[in-house]
Amino acid sequence: MKITVRQITKQLIEMVQEMRLMGLKKTLLYVRRSFIQKFNRYPKMITVEASSWCNLNCVFCATRDLKISKHRQKELLSFAEFKKLIDETQHFCSRINFSLFGEPLANPELSRMITYASKKGIFTVVFTNATLITRDIMHQLLESGLNRMIISFESFEKNLYESTKCGAKQKQTEQIVRDFVQTRNKHHLKKPQIMLRVVLTQKNVHAIDTFIKKAKMMHVDAVSFKPLTVWPQGSDAFKEKLIRNFVVEHQVSRHTRNKNKKFMLRSSKSHCPSLYNPTLLSDGSICLCWYDMLGETMIGNINNTFFLSLWQKSQKFRQSHMASGKAYSICKECPGIGAERFETIYFNAFSLSF
2-34 pLDDT per residue, tens: 556 666 777 788 788 888 888 888 889 888 998
Q: Mean pLDDT over residues 121-144, rounded? A: 97
Distance, in Å, from the CA atom of 256 to the CA atom of 266, rounded to the nearest integer, reads: 6
- Per DSSP, the residues of 273-323 read TTTT--EE-TTSEEES-TT-SSSTTEEEETTTS-HHHHHHHTHHHHHHTGG
CATH 2.60.40.1180 fits 5-253+274-346, yes or no: no
**Higher-confidence position of 302 and 270:** 302
**How high is the pLDDT of residue 272?**
75
Separation of alpha carbons 340 and 275, rounded Å: 15
Residue 138 predicted with pLDDT over 90: yes
pLDDT at 70: 72
Phi, psi of 155 (to 5 degrees): -165, 150
Report the pLDDT value the prediction gives residue 4, as an integer from 0 to 100. 62
What would the DSSP string read from start to end of 242-283? HHHHT---STT-SEEE-TTS-EEEPP--PPPTTTT--EE-TT
Least Cα distance to 51 among 115, 143, 129, 118 occurs for 129
Quote the mean pLDDT of the chain.
Answer: 87
**pLDDT tens digits, residue range 302-337?**
999 999 999 988 887 777 666 666 667 777 777 766
- Residues pairing with 262 in the sheet: none
Residue 232's pLDDT band, with cuts at 50, 70 and 90, is confident
Q: Give residue limits of the domains in the chain.
A: 5-253+274-346
CB contact at 8 A, 211 and 204:
yes
Instruction: Provide the CA 313 distance to its chain's centre, in angstroms.
Output: 26
Biggest CA–CA distance in the chain, Å, is 56
> What pLDDT is stored for residue 352 in this prediction?
45
Render pLDDT for 161-170 as a digit per residue (tens, 0 to 9): 999 999 999 9
Q: Which of 314, 315, 318, 311 is nearest to 88 (CA)?
A: 311
- Residue-wise pLDDT for 37-74, tens only, equals 888 889 999 999 999 999 999 999 888 886 677 777 88
Task: Say yes or no to pLDDT of 269 above 80.
Answer: no
Q: Which helix (H) or strand (E) holds 155?
A: none
